[in-house]
Amino acid sequence: MPRGPTQRRPRTRARLLEAAFAVFADRGFHGTSIEDICNHAGFTRGAFYSNFTTKDELFLALFDAHTERVLERLRAIDPPESDGDVFANVISAATQPSDDERRWYLITTEFTLYAIRNPDAARALAVHENRLREAVAKLLGDLCTELGVEPSTDLDDLARLVIAVIEGARAQSYVQPDELPPGRLERTFLPPILHAFTRSVR
């Protein structure tokens, strides 16, 4: 059985990730130092560097953790009744408004802007975004199989479209939440878009 540092390391990493999420959301990615994260987590800089080499690497670990939480939520959706809309159920689950999602949007948008200006960061972010998109494409493919339909366009492109609509809609909702409550645009338009890009095979 693992003991000592080996046993503590996953807990240390988890606490650093929790601290980073909180401080990034409060001060911004660029406004947060490694020292800020360590102080919030109650660790020394040595604990940080035994788990991450850079602040960028820590963000990408947060990105992967967030992706897995979203995918777990989507995979746990119960099939609808016979007259239900599978696409609508999935989109509804994917766009449930929460304070954490708003905070994550602030964090990831700032990092994306940074990556657009920094080729190394862009290449690193693209690797993690590709994994997310591949998972979304697989989920869409599985849904199509369940519905007895097939996509009429490339699944990777369809996944890109779904992600783009969700991210763009969130930006508008967070700026004007009273006029456009979070999730409304996605729930209204994504299901018919998905149906428009699928065709029956039965």
Kindly state whether residues 46 and 136 are assigned to the same domain: no
Give 32-35 contacts, CB < 8 A, sequence gap 24+.
Answer: none
Rounded to whole angstroms, how far apart are CA atoms 7 and 47?
A: 14
Q: pLDDT digits over 81-118, tens only?
A: 555 688 888 888 888 778 889 999 999 999 999 999 99
According to the model, what pLDDT value does residue 79 have?
Answer: 59
Kindly state whether residues 191 and 168 are assigned to the same domain: yes
Cβ–Cβ under 8 Å, residues 82 and 177: no
Kindly state whether residues 23 and 121 are assigned to the same domain: no
Q: Please, which residues have CB within 8 angstroms of residue 175's CB and are 6 or more apart in sequence?
A: none
The CATH number of the domain holding residue 122 is 1.10.357.10
- Residue ending a domain, among 52, 70, 86, is 52
The two counts, helices (H) then strands (E), for the chain are 9, 2
pTM tops 0.85:
yes
